[in-house]
Amino acid sequence: MFYLIGLGLGDATDITVKGLRAVKSCSRVYLEAYTSVLTGGKEALEEFYGRELIVADRDLVEQQADQILKDAHVTDVAFLVVGDPFGATTHSDLVLRAVNAGIPYKVIHNASIMNAVGCCGLQLYRFGETVSLVFWTDTWRPESFYDRICKNREAGQHTLCLLDIKVKEQSEENMMRGKKIYEPPRFMTVAQAADQLVQIVQRRRAEGETLGLTEDTLCVGLARLGADDQVMRVATLQQLVSCDLGGPLHSLVITGQLHPLEVDMLQLSAEADVMKNLRVLDGSTYWS
């Protein structure tokens, strides 16, 4: 059997009982280590699970998937994913490869940012398309995520923004020279994400574009969701540019039309006086 097992959001103890039993039955256990991270790291997981873990980086998962699936038709193999197994499309590819190879598989689900984001007080069914914000470089500054956020807001929907993670990445120079030298890990913060969005807003305003998002848009910054030290900060986009929510992982929510119950929940984590610009139209609450 090939198992895809979700580990949840916080630490080693967030694995389900079903997932832990599967891990203990497997001859090989891989830990996917590039789409997300857990607090404590690989050693803490190994101590709690009582099993040695094989770190599966992007190259192994995307270029050498057959190595992961090797012998899974005659022995149990586990692939561990922070959050839920289907939080990344790469993991769907593993399932398809297993099916094509005649290997039975089983998915053991767990909590992920996609549903845990509801802890901020925004109702899950009022979210639109999830977007990813990537680190800009000197020569690459994509803005497509801004347009998708605006599309969600036009429909009155909130937007969950997943922030970039750089783990075991090479510089362009080392990649061109074929040197296996990797850059230090980097995790985008809420402040960095807000700053990139503000720069887009300012540029498009200067070009005379009608804005679907401004510096005054109400947002929610999230850090280390599911951990004991998780942080939520409700503030305007501009205010979040200067916020410090501590260590990774961070996520950002851009609000759309707000239900009165959502307003009440957001006030629990709001910056002082940040909710004063709310107004009610036709029985619905909006951020002006």
Read off the tokens for 279: 């107004």
DSSP at 183: P
Sign of CA dihedral 151, 134, 245, 40: positive
Radius of gyration of the chain (CA): 21
Run of H or E including 38: none
Is 69 annotated in a binding site? The answer is no
Name the residue type at position 246.
G
9 is in an annotated binding site: yes
198 CB neighbour count, 10 Å cutoff:
17
Measured from the Cβ of residue 16, the count of other Cβ atoms closer than 10 Å reads 16
112 assigned ligand-binding residue:
yes
Strands (E) in 82-158, as ranges, are 105-108, 131-133
List residues bridging with 254 in a β-sheet.
Answer: 159, 219
Q: Is 162 annotated as a binding residue?
A: no
Q: Where are the beta strands (DSSP E) in 21-141?
A: 28-32, 54-56, 77-81, 105-108, 131-133
Secondary structure of residue 14 in the 3-state scheme: helix
84 is in an annotated binding site: yes
Per the annotation, does 163 bind a ligand? yes
The answer to whether the annotation marks 250 as part of a ligand binding site is yes
Is 208 labelled as part of a ligand binding site?
no
Annotated binding site: 9, 84, 87, 112-113, 163, 225, 250
Annotated binding site for S-adenosyl-L-methionine: 9, 84, 87, 112-113, 163, 225, 250
